[in-house]
Protein backbone atom coordinates (compact mmCIF):
# COMPACT_ATOMS: atom_id res chain seq x y z
CA UNK A 1 0.00 0.00 0.00
CA UNK A 2 1.42 3.38 -1.00
CA UNK A 3 0.38 6.96 -1.60
CA UNK A 4 1.45 7.76 -5.17
CA UNK A 5 2.10 11.48 -5.62
CA UNK A 6 2.90 13.56 -8.68
CA UNK A 7 6.33 14.21 -7.15
CA UNK A 8 7.00 10.47 -6.99
CA UNK A 9 5.88 9.92 -10.59
CA UNK A 10 7.97 12.83 -11.80
CA UNK A 11 11.04 11.33 -10.12
CA UNK A 12 10.35 8.03 -11.90
CA UNK A 13 10.22 9.67 -15.35
CA UNK A 14 13.94 9.25 -15.96
CA UNK A 15 13.58 5.47 -15.65
CA UNK A 16 10.45 5.47 -17.80
CA UNK A 17 6.88 4.92 -16.65
CA UNK A 18 5.21 1.66 -17.65
CA UNK A 19 1.97 1.96 -19.65
CA UNK A 20 -0.31 0.65 -18.23
CA UNK A 21 1.06 1.76 -14.84
CA UNK A 22 0.82 -0.99 -12.21
CA UNK A 23 -0.83 -0.17 -8.88
CA UNK A 24 -1.16 -2.72 -6.11
CA UNK A 25 -4.15 -3.24 -3.83
CA UNK A 26 -4.53 -0.35 -1.39
CA UNK A 27 -2.37 2.09 -3.41
CA UNK A 28 -3.82 5.58 -3.61
CA UNK A 29 -3.10 8.26 -6.19
CA UNK A 30 -3.33 11.95 -5.35
CA UNK A 31 -5.53 13.95 -7.79
CA UNK A 32 -2.36 15.57 -9.22
CA UNK A 33 -0.77 12.14 -9.74
CA UNK A 34 -3.90 10.89 -11.56
CA UNK A 35 -3.81 14.01 -13.79
CA UNK A 36 -0.10 13.48 -14.41
CA UNK A 37 -0.69 9.96 -15.79
CA UNK A 38 -3.81 11.01 -17.72
CA UNK A 39 -1.96 13.90 -19.44
CA UNK A 40 0.55 11.38 -20.73
CA UNK A 41 -2.07 8.86 -21.84
CA UNK A 42 -0.91 6.32 -19.25
CA UNK A 43 -3.62 3.97 -17.96
CA UNK A 44 -3.74 2.22 -14.57
CA UNK A 45 -3.50 -1.54 -14.10
CA UNK A 46 -4.38 -3.23 -10.81
CA UNK A 47 -1.86 -5.95 -9.90
CA UNK A 48 -1.37 -8.29 -6.93
CA UNK A 49 0.62 -6.92 -3.97
CA UNK A 50 4.39 -7.21 -4.28
CA UNK A 51 6.32 -8.84 -1.44
CA UNK A 52 7.74 -6.20 0.86
CA UNK A 53 11.49 -5.83 1.32
CA UNK A 54 12.27 -4.72 -2.23
CA UNK A 55 14.86 -1.98 -2.77
CA UNK A 56 14.56 0.84 -0.25
CA UNK A 57 14.22 4.38 -1.55
CA UNK A 58 17.65 5.95 -1.87
CA UNK A 59 17.19 9.36 -0.37
CA UNK A 60 19.86 11.91 0.50
CA UNK A 61 19.42 15.05 2.62
CA UNK A 62 20.37 18.29 0.87
CA UNK A 63 22.81 20.83 2.31
CA UNK A 64 22.89 24.18 0.48
CA UNK A 65 26.17 26.09 0.84
CA UNK A 66 25.98 29.84 0.56
CA UNK A 67 29.18 31.71 -0.32
CA UNK A 68 31.79 31.25 2.44
CA UNK A 69 35.47 31.44 3.33
CA UNK A 70 37.88 28.97 4.98
CA UNK A 71 40.93 30.72 6.45
CA UNK A 72 44.56 29.68 7.00
CA UNK A 73 46.06 30.75 10.36
CA UNK A 74 48.34 33.49 8.96
CA UNK A 75 45.40 35.05 7.09
CA UNK A 76 43.19 35.28 10.17
CA UNK A 77 46.02 37.19 11.88
CA UNK A 78 46.20 39.64 8.97
CA UNK A 79 42.41 40.12 8.79
CA UNK A 80 41.49 40.27 12.48
CA UNK A 81 44.78 40.81 14.40
CA UNK A 82 47.51 38.52 15.73
CA UNK A 83 46.31 35.47 17.62
CA UNK A 84 42.63 36.16 16.87
CA UNK A 85 40.30 33.21 17.43
CA UNK A 86 36.99 32.64 15.64
CA UNK A 87 33.78 32.60 17.68
CA UNK A 88 31.47 29.69 16.70
CA UNK A 89 27.96 30.81 15.73
CA UNK A 90 26.42 27.41 14.94
CA UNK A 91 27.47 23.84 14.16
CA UNK A 92 27.36 22.56 10.57
CA UNK A 93 26.21 19.14 9.36
CA UNK A 94 29.82 17.89 9.09
CA UNK A 95 31.37 16.96 12.45
CA UNK A 96 33.54 19.66 14.05
CA UNK A 97 32.76 22.25 11.36
CA UNK A 98 31.11 25.50 12.38
CA UNK A 99 29.89 28.81 10.98
CA UNK A 100 31.71 31.65 12.76
CA UNK A 101 30.28 34.92 14.00
CA UNK A 102 32.98 36.66 11.94
CA UNK A 103 32.52 37.64 8.29
CA UNK A 104 34.73 39.28 5.65
CA UNK A 105 34.06 41.39 2.58
CA UNK A 106 35.15 39.79 -0.71
CA UNK A 107 36.35 42.33 -3.29
CA UNK A 108 36.64 41.53 -7.00
CA UNK A 109 37.70 43.62 -9.99
CA UNK A 110 34.06 44.56 -10.74
CA UNK A 111 32.16 44.53 -7.44
CA UNK A 112 32.18 43.15 -3.91
CA UNK A 113 30.18 40.95 -1.55
CA UNK A 114 29.79 41.98 2.07
CA UNK A 115 29.21 39.82 5.17
CA UNK A 116 30.61 36.62 3.70
CA UNK A 117 30.58 33.98 6.45
CA UNK A 118 33.83 32.41 7.70
CA UNK A 119 33.63 28.68 8.41
CA UNK A 120 35.86 27.05 11.03
CA UNK A 121 38.06 25.42 12.07
CA UNK A 122 41.10 26.95 10.34
CA UNK A 123 42.62 25.13 7.36
CA UNK A 124 46.05 24.78 5.77
CA UNK A 125 45.10 27.01 2.82
CA UNK A 126 42.58 29.81 2.51
CA UNK A 127 39.67 28.92 0.20
CA UNK A 128 36.80 31.13 -0.95
CA UNK A 129 33.69 29.38 -2.30
CA UNK A 130 31.19 31.39 -4.34
CA UNK A 131 28.39 30.67 -6.82
CA UNK A 132 28.55 31.55 -10.52
CA UNK A 133 26.01 34.31 -9.78
CA UNK A 134 28.42 35.75 -7.19
CA UNK A 135 31.18 35.55 -9.80
CA UNK A 136 29.22 37.86 -12.13
CA UNK A 137 28.82 40.30 -9.23
CA UNK A 138 32.56 40.23 -8.45
CA UNK A 139 33.67 40.17 -12.07
CA UNK A 140 35.70 36.96 -11.74
CA UNK A 141 34.94 33.49 -13.08
CA UNK A 142 36.61 30.72 -11.10
CA UNK A 143 36.54 27.04 -12.14
CA UNK A 144 34.31 24.38 -10.58
CA UNK A 145 36.43 22.39 -8.12
CA UNK A 146 36.19 20.03 -5.20
CA UNK A 147 37.27 21.58 -1.91
CA UNK A 148 41.07 21.71 -1.54
CA UNK A 149 41.82 21.47 -5.28
CA UNK A 150 43.16 25.02 -5.65
CA UNK A 151 45.91 24.74 -8.31
CA UNK A 152 45.44 27.31 -11.11
CA UNK A 153 42.45 29.01 -9.44
CA UNK A 154 42.17 32.82 -9.40
CA UNK A 155 42.91 34.94 -6.36
CA UNK A 156 40.61 37.51 -4.71
CA UNK A 157 40.79 40.17 -1.99
CA UNK A 158 39.40 39.69 1.54
CA UNK A 159 38.73 42.58 3.92
CA UNK A 160 38.54 42.03 7.68
CA UNK A 161 38.28 44.37 10.68
CA UNK A 162 42.05 44.82 11.01
CA UNK A 163 43.41 44.38 7.50
CA UNK A 164 43.20 43.15 3.93
CA UNK A 165 44.53 39.97 2.29
CA UNK A 166 45.00 39.61 -1.45
CA UNK A 167 45.14 35.92 -2.35
CA UNK A 168 47.06 34.61 -5.36
CA UNK A 169 44.77 31.58 -5.60
CA UNK A 170 41.91 29.95 -3.71
CA UNK A 171 38.67 31.16 -5.35
CA UNK A 172 36.41 28.31 -6.55
CA UNK A 173 32.85 27.39 -7.39
CA UNK A 174 32.29 24.23 -5.36
CA UNK A 175 31.62 21.04 -7.30
CA UNK A 176 28.58 19.27 -5.90
CA UNK A 177 29.30 16.05 -3.97
CA UNK A 178 27.93 13.62 -1.43
CA UNK A 179 29.44 13.19 2.02
CA UNK A 180 28.77 9.95 3.91
CA UNK A 181 30.13 8.09 6.91
CA UNK A 182 31.20 4.47 6.24
CA UNK A 183 28.01 3.24 7.96
CA UNK A 184 25.74 5.51 5.89
CA UNK A 185 27.58 4.55 2.71
CA UNK A 186 27.04 0.88 3.46
CA UNK A 187 23.29 1.33 3.96
CA UNK A 188 23.06 3.21 0.63
CA UNK A 189 25.47 0.73 -1.05
CA UNK A 190 27.81 3.57 -2.00
CA UNK A 191 31.61 3.47 -2.13
CA UNK A 192 34.17 6.27 -1.92
CA UNK A 193 34.70 7.57 -5.44
CA UNK A 194 31.34 6.40 -6.80
CA UNK A 195 29.70 8.76 -9.28
CA UNK A 196 25.95 8.90 -9.00
CA UNK A 197 22.95 10.55 -10.61
CA UNK A 198 20.75 12.35 -8.10
CA UNK A 199 17.30 13.84 -8.82
CA UNK A 200 15.39 16.68 -7.18
CA UNK A 201 11.76 15.70 -6.82
CA UNK A 202 9.91 18.97 -6.51
CA UNK A 203 8.59 21.51 -9.00
CA UNK A 204 11.89 21.46 -10.87
CA UNK A 205 12.94 17.84 -11.33
CA UNK A 206 16.56 18.50 -12.25
CA UNK A 207 19.00 15.58 -12.30
CA UNK A 208 22.54 16.20 -11.06
CA UNK A 209 24.72 13.90 -13.17
CA UNK A 210 28.08 12.41 -12.17
CA UNK A 211 28.04 13.49 -8.50
CA UNK A 212 31.13 12.28 -6.63
CA UNK A 213 30.69 10.31 -3.38
CA UNK A 214 33.22 10.93 -0.59
CA UNK A 215 33.20 8.53 2.37
CA UNK A 216 35.03 9.23 5.63
CA UNK A 217 34.45 8.68 9.37
CA UNK A 218 34.58 12.50 9.61
CA UNK A 219 31.53 12.89 7.34
CA UNK A 220 27.78 12.89 7.85
CA UNK A 221 25.32 12.11 5.05
CA UNK A 222 24.68 15.22 2.94
CA UNK A 223 24.35 16.18 -0.73
CA UNK A 224 26.21 19.49 -0.96
CA UNK A 225 25.15 21.99 -3.61
CA UNK A 226 25.61 25.73 -4.01
CA UNK A 227 22.92 28.40 -4.10
CA UNK A 228 22.62 28.46 -7.91
CA UNK A 229 22.04 24.72 -8.00
CA UNK A 230 19.57 25.00 -5.09
CA UNK A 231 17.57 27.71 -6.81
CA UNK A 232 17.58 25.96 -10.18
CA UNK A 233 16.30 22.75 -8.58
CA UNK A 234 14.05 24.55 -6.05
CA UNK A 235 15.86 22.89 -3.15
CA UNK A 236 16.42 24.08 0.42
CA UNK A 237 18.63 22.64 3.18
CA UNK A 238 16.79 19.71 4.70
CA UNK A 239 14.99 18.70 1.48
CA UNK A 240 15.70 15.25 0.12
CA UNK A 241 16.85 14.07 -3.30
CA UNK A 242 16.83 10.58 -4.76
CA UNK A 243 19.75 8.51 -6.07
CA UNK A 244 18.58 7.28 -9.48
CA UNK A 245 21.70 5.57 -10.80
CA UNK A 246 25.21 4.65 -9.76
CA UNK A 247 28.38 4.81 -11.85
CA UNK A 248 28.65 4.81 -15.60
CA UNK A 249 28.53 1.06 -16.06
CA UNK A 250 25.14 0.64 -14.49
CA UNK A 251 22.49 1.50 -17.03
CA UNK A 252 19.32 3.25 -15.90
CA UNK A 253 16.33 0.92 -15.94
CA UNK B 1 36.19 8.62 -37.42
CA UNK B 2 35.44 10.93 -34.52
CA UNK B 3 37.14 13.14 -31.95
CA UNK B 4 36.02 11.83 -28.56
CA UNK B 5 36.09 14.56 -25.92
CA UNK B 6 35.54 14.49 -22.19
CA UNK B 7 32.40 16.58 -22.76
CA UNK B 8 31.02 13.93 -25.11
CA UNK B 9 31.76 11.11 -22.65
CA UNK B 10 30.24 13.05 -19.77
CA UNK B 11 27.04 13.50 -21.79
CA UNK B 12 26.94 9.75 -22.43
CA UNK B 13 27.16 8.90 -18.72
CA UNK B 14 23.39 8.94 -18.26
CA UNK B 15 23.03 6.14 -20.81
CA UNK B 16 25.94 4.22 -19.32
CA UNK B 17 29.42 3.79 -20.77
CA UNK B 18 30.34 0.33 -22.02
CA UNK B 19 33.42 -1.29 -20.46
CA UNK B 20 35.49 -1.88 -22.55
CA UNK B 21 34.59 1.28 -24.46
CA UNK B 22 34.44 0.68 -28.25
CA UNK B 23 36.43 3.00 -30.51
CA UNK B 24 36.42 2.62 -34.27
CA UNK B 25 39.39 3.00 -36.61
CA UNK B 26 40.47 6.63 -36.87
CA UNK B 27 38.73 7.72 -33.64
CA UNK B 28 40.83 10.02 -31.49
CA UNK B 29 40.51 10.71 -27.77
CA UNK B 30 41.51 14.02 -26.23
CA UNK B 31 43.90 13.67 -23.25
CA UNK B 32 41.05 14.70 -20.91
CA UNK B 33 38.77 12.04 -22.45
CA UNK B 34 41.46 9.37 -21.98
CA UNK B 35 41.86 10.44 -18.31
CA UNK B 36 38.08 10.40 -17.88
CA UNK B 37 37.88 6.73 -18.93
CA UNK B 38 41.01 5.76 -16.99
CA UNK B 39 39.67 7.33 -13.75
CA UNK B 40 36.62 5.09 -14.06
CA UNK B 41 38.64 1.96 -14.88
CA UNK B 42 37.15 1.78 -18.38
CA UNK B 43 39.42 0.20 -21.02
CA UNK B 44 39.40 0.86 -24.77
CA UNK B 45 38.43 -1.72 -27.37
CA UNK B 46 39.18 -1.21 -31.07
CA UNK B 47 36.23 -2.30 -33.21
CA UNK B 48 35.47 -2.26 -36.95
CA UNK B 49 33.97 0.97 -38.33
CA UNK B 50 30.21 1.32 -37.94
CA UNK B 51 28.12 2.16 -40.98
CA UNK B 52 27.44 5.87 -41.10
CA UNK B 53 23.89 7.22 -40.88
CA UNK B 54 23.23 6.20 -37.28
CA UNK B 55 21.19 8.54 -35.06
CA UNK B 56 22.15 12.17 -35.49
CA UNK B 57 23.06 14.15 -32.40
CA UNK B 58 20.00 15.89 -31.01
CA UNK B 59 21.24 19.32 -30.11
CA UNK B 60 19.24 22.36 -29.03
CA UNK B 61 20.47 25.95 -28.77
CA UNK B 62 20.09 27.53 -25.32
CA UNK B 63 18.37 30.87 -24.70
CA UNK B 64 18.84 32.29 -21.20
CA UNK B 65 16.07 34.65 -20.04
CA UNK B 66 17.02 37.27 -17.52
CA UNK B 67 14.21 38.82 -15.43
CA UNK B 68 11.77 40.72 -17.67
CA UNK B 69 8.29 42.18 -17.98
CA UNK B 70 5.54 41.84 -20.62
CA UNK B 71 3.03 44.71 -20.45
CA UNK B 72 -0.67 45.02 -21.24
CA UNK B 73 -1.67 48.23 -23.11
CA UNK B 74 -3.42 49.91 -20.14
CA UNK B 75 -0.37 49.34 -17.94
CA UNK B 76 2.06 50.95 -20.37
CA UNK B 77 -0.18 54.03 -20.30
CA UNK B 78 -0.04 54.11 -16.51
CA UNK B 79 3.74 53.59 -16.35
CA UNK B 80 4.92 55.80 -19.23
CA UNK B 81 1.98 58.09 -20.13
CA UNK B 82 -1.08 57.75 -22.38
CA UNK B 83 -0.39 56.35 -25.84
CA UNK B 84 3.26 55.66 -25.10
CA UNK B 85 4.96 53.27 -27.57
CA UNK B 86 7.95 51.02 -26.75
CA UNK B 87 11.23 51.59 -28.63
CA UNK B 88 12.78 48.30 -29.82
CA UNK B 89 16.39 47.83 -28.63
CA UNK B 90 17.12 44.43 -30.24
CA UNK B 91 15.29 41.46 -31.76
CA UNK B 92 14.86 38.25 -29.75
CA UNK B 93 15.18 34.67 -31.00
CA UNK B 94 11.38 34.30 -31.29
CA UNK B 95 9.91 36.00 -34.38
CA UNK B 96 8.49 39.49 -33.80
CA UNK B 97 9.61 39.62 -30.16
CA UNK B 98 11.96 42.37 -29.06
CA UNK B 99 13.74 43.76 -26.01
CA UNK B 100 12.69 47.40 -25.52
CA UNK B 101 14.85 50.35 -24.55
CA UNK B 102 12.44 50.95 -21.65
CA UNK B 103 12.82 49.34 -18.24
CA UNK B 104 10.83 49.41 -15.00
CA UNK B 105 11.70 48.95 -11.34
CA UNK B 106 10.06 45.94 -9.68
CA UNK B 107 9.24 46.50 -5.99
CA UNK B 108 8.50 43.67 -3.56
CA UNK B 109 7.70 43.62 0.15
CA UNK B 110 11.39 43.12 1.04
CA UNK B 111 13.48 44.73 -1.71
CA UNK B 112 13.42 45.87 -5.30
CA UNK B 113 15.09 45.24 -8.68
CA UNK B 114 15.95 48.19 -10.90
CA UNK B 115 16.29 48.36 -14.69
CA UNK B 116 14.13 45.31 -15.42
CA UNK B 117 13.82 45.02 -19.20
CA UNK B 118 10.42 45.29 -20.92
CA UNK B 119 9.86 42.84 -23.80
CA UNK B 120 7.56 43.71 -26.70
CA UNK B 121 5.14 43.57 -28.34
CA UNK B 122 2.37 44.31 -25.81
CA UNK B 123 0.29 41.39 -24.49
CA UNK B 124 -3.24 40.87 -23.22
CA UNK B 125 -2.07 40.54 -19.61
CA UNK B 126 0.96 41.93 -17.82
CA UNK B 127 3.42 39.23 -16.78
CA UNK B 128 6.61 39.58 -14.73
CA UNK B 129 9.19 36.77 -14.99
CA UNK B 130 11.89 36.50 -12.33
CA UNK B 131 14.29 33.84 -11.05
CA UNK B 132 14.06 32.24 -7.62
CA UNK B 133 17.16 34.26 -6.66
CA UNK B 134 15.31 37.47 -7.62
CA UNK B 135 12.38 36.27 -5.48
CA UNK B 136 14.59 36.17 -2.38
CA UNK B 137 15.71 39.73 -3.18
CA UNK B 138 12.10 40.94 -3.56
CA UNK B 139 10.74 38.89 -0.67
CA UNK B 140 8.13 37.09 -2.75
CA UNK B 141 8.05 33.47 -3.92
CA UNK B 142 5.99 32.94 -7.07
CA UNK B 143 5.20 29.50 -8.52
CA UNK B 144 6.93 27.99 -11.56
CA UNK B 145 4.64 28.45 -14.56
CA UNK B 146 4.60 28.41 -18.33
CA UNK B 147 4.09 31.85 -19.85
CA UNK B 148 0.44 32.95 -19.78
CA UNK B 149 -0.60 30.63 -16.95
CA UNK B 150 -1.20 33.36 -14.36
CA UNK B 151 -4.13 32.08 -12.25
CA UNK B 152 -3.34 32.21 -8.53
CA UNK B 153 0.03 33.90 -8.98
CA UNK B 154 1.11 36.75 -6.68
CA UNK B 155 1.08 40.40 -7.68
CA UNK B 156 3.97 42.87 -7.56
CA UNK B 157 4.55 46.61 -8.01
CA UNK B 158 6.06 48.14 -11.17
CA UNK B 159 7.49 51.65 -11.29
CA UNK B 160 7.85 53.55 -14.60
CA UNK B 161 8.79 57.11 -15.49
CA UNK B 162 5.24 58.44 -15.19
CA UNK B 163 3.57 56.21 -12.64
CA UNK B 164 3.25 53.04 -10.63
CA UNK B 165 1.17 49.89 -11.20
CA UNK B 166 0.35 47.40 -8.47
CA UNK B 167 -0.61 44.08 -10.04
CA UNK B 168 -2.99 41.63 -8.36
CA UNK B 169 -1.39 38.71 -10.21
CA UNK B 170 1.19 38.04 -12.92
CA UNK B 171 4.48 37.27 -11.13
CA UNK B 172 5.99 33.90 -12.12
CA UNK B 173 9.23 31.94 -12.31
CA UNK B 174 9.27 30.68 -15.90
CA UNK B 175 9.10 26.91 -16.40
CA UNK B 176 11.80 25.80 -18.81
CA UNK B 177 10.56 24.70 -22.24
CA UNK B 178 11.58 24.14 -25.85
CA UNK B 179 10.26 26.28 -28.71
CA UNK B 180 10.39 24.86 -32.23
CA UNK B 181 8.88 25.58 -35.63
CA UNK B 182 7.03 22.65 -37.26
CA UNK B 183 10.01 22.12 -39.61
CA UNK B 184 12.55 22.10 -36.76
CA UNK B 185 10.33 19.77 -34.72
CA UNK B 186 10.14 17.33 -37.62
CA UNK B 187 13.93 17.20 -37.99
CA UNK B 188 14.31 16.53 -34.26
CA UNK B 189 11.32 14.11 -34.29
CA UNK B 190 9.56 16.15 -31.63
CA UNK B 191 5.83 16.81 -31.31
CA UNK B 192 3.92 19.58 -29.55
CA UNK B 193 3.43 18.48 -25.95
CA UNK B 194 6.36 16.05 -25.85
CA UNK B 195 8.27 15.98 -22.59
CA UNK B 196 11.98 15.47 -23.01
CA UNK B 197 15.15 15.11 -20.94
CA UNK B 198 17.84 17.57 -21.94
CA UNK B 199 21.46 17.52 -20.72
CA UNK B 200 24.03 20.29 -20.39
CA UNK B 201 27.39 19.01 -21.54
CA UNK B 202 29.91 21.33 -19.90
CA UNK B 203 31.54 21.43 -16.48
CA UNK B 204 28.18 20.91 -14.82
CA UNK B 205 26.37 18.10 -16.61
CA UNK B 206 22.92 18.78 -15.22
CA UNK B 207 19.91 17.05 -16.81
CA UNK B 208 16.68 19.03 -17.12
CA UNK B 209 13.92 16.43 -16.74
CA UNK B 210 10.41 16.60 -18.20
CA UNK B 211 10.94 19.69 -20.38
CA UNK B 212 7.80 20.57 -22.37
CA UNK B 213 8.05 21.00 -26.15
CA UNK B 214 5.92 23.73 -27.79
CA UNK B 215 5.64 23.73 -31.57
CA UNK B 216 4.25 26.67 -33.57
CA UNK B 217 4.97 28.45 -36.86
CA UNK B 218 5.66 31.52 -34.66
CA UNK B 219 8.53 29.77 -32.90
CA UNK B 220 12.25 29.30 -33.56
CA UNK B 221 14.27 26.48 -32.04
CA UNK B 222 15.39 27.39 -28.52
CA UNK B 223 15.65 25.79 -25.08
CA UNK B 224 14.51 28.54 -22.72
CA UNK B 225 15.88 28.57 -19.17
CA UNK B 226 16.18 31.25 -16.50
CA UNK B 227 19.35 32.67 -14.99
CA UNK B 228 19.39 30.28 -11.99
CA UNK B 229 19.16 27.28 -14.28
CA UNK B 230 21.84 28.77 -16.57
CA UNK B 231 24.24 29.34 -13.68
CA UNK B 232 23.61 25.94 -12.12
CA UNK B 233 24.30 24.23 -15.47
CA UNK B 234 27.05 26.68 -16.50
CA UNK B 235 25.15 27.60 -19.67
CA UNK B 236 25.11 30.82 -21.68
CA UNK B 237 22.86 31.91 -24.56
CA UNK B 238 24.17 30.24 -27.71
CA UNK B 239 25.47 27.11 -25.95
CA UNK B 240 23.96 23.79 -26.97
CA UNK B 241 22.35 21.03 -24.94
CA UNK B 242 21.53 17.47 -25.95
CA UNK B 243 18.16 15.69 -25.98
CA UNK B 244 18.81 12.42 -24.17
CA UNK B 245 15.30 10.95 -23.97
CA UNK B 246 11.76 11.63 -25.08
CA UNK B 247 8.58 11.10 -23.09
CA UNK B 248 8.07 8.85 -20.15
CA UNK B 249 7.43 5.66 -22.15
CA UNK B 250 10.76 5.64 -23.89
CA UNK B 251 13.38 4.17 -21.60
CA UNK B 252 16.89 5.57 -21.64
CA UNK B 253 19.32 3.19 -23.30
pLDDT digits (tens, 9 = 90+) for B193-226: 999 999 998 888 899 998 999 999 999 999 999 9
Residue B53, pLDDT score = 37
Whole-number average pLDDT of chain A: 88
Chain B, 34 to 53: residues with Cβ < 8 Å from chain A are: 40, 42
DSSP string, A9-56: HHHHGGG---SSEEEETT-EE-HHHHHHHHHTTPPEEEEPPPPS--PP
- Mutate which of A12, A14, A173, A196 to disrupt the B interface (most B C-beta within 10 Å)? A14
Say if the Cβ atoms of A19 and B249 lie within 8 Å. Answer: yes
Is the peptide bond prior to B234 cis by the omega test (within 30 degrees of 0)?
Answer: no
Q: How confident is the model at residue A33 (pLDDT cuts 50, 70, 90)?
A: confident
Q: Could you report the per-residue pLDDT of A67-104, keeping only the tens digit for each?
A: 999 999 999 999 999 999 999 999 998 889 999 999 99
Whether the predicted interface score ipTM is above 0.85:
no
Residue A36, pLDDT score = 85
CA distance A89 to chain B (A): 23
CA distance B122 to chain A (A): 29
Q: Which of A13, A234, A250 sits opposite B210 (nearest CB)?
A: A13
Residue B1, pLDDT score = 54
Q: Give burial (CB, 10 Å; 0-12/13-18/19+) of B23.
A: middle
Q: Could you report the per-residue pLDDT of A95-150, keeping only the tens digit for each?
A: 899 999 999 999 999 999 999 999 999 999 999 999 999 999 999 999 999 999 99
**DSSP summary character for residue B13:** G
- Mutate which of B10, B12, B14, B247 to disrupt the A interface (most A C-beta within 10 Å)? B14
CA distance B17 to chain A (A): 5
CA gap A185, A197 in Å, rounded: 15
| pLDDT reading at A252 higher than 70 | no
Say if the Cβ atoms of B233 and A232 lie within 8 Å. Answer: yes
Residue A217, pLDDT score = 93
- Mutate which of A16, A149, A204 to disrupt the B interface (most B C-beta within 10 Å)? A204
Q: How confident is the model at residue B117 (pLDDT cuts 50, 70, 90)?
A: very high
Say if the Cβ atoms of B16 and A249 lie within 8 Å. Answer: yes
Amino acid sequence: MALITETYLRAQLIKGLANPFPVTEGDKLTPAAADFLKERGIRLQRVASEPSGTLPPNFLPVGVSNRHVHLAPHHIDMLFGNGYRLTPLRELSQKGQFAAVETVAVKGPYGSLSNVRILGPLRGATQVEISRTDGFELGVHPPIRLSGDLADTPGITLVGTKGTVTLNEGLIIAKNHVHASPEEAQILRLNHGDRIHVQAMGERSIIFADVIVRVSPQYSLDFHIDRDEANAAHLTTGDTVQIISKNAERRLR
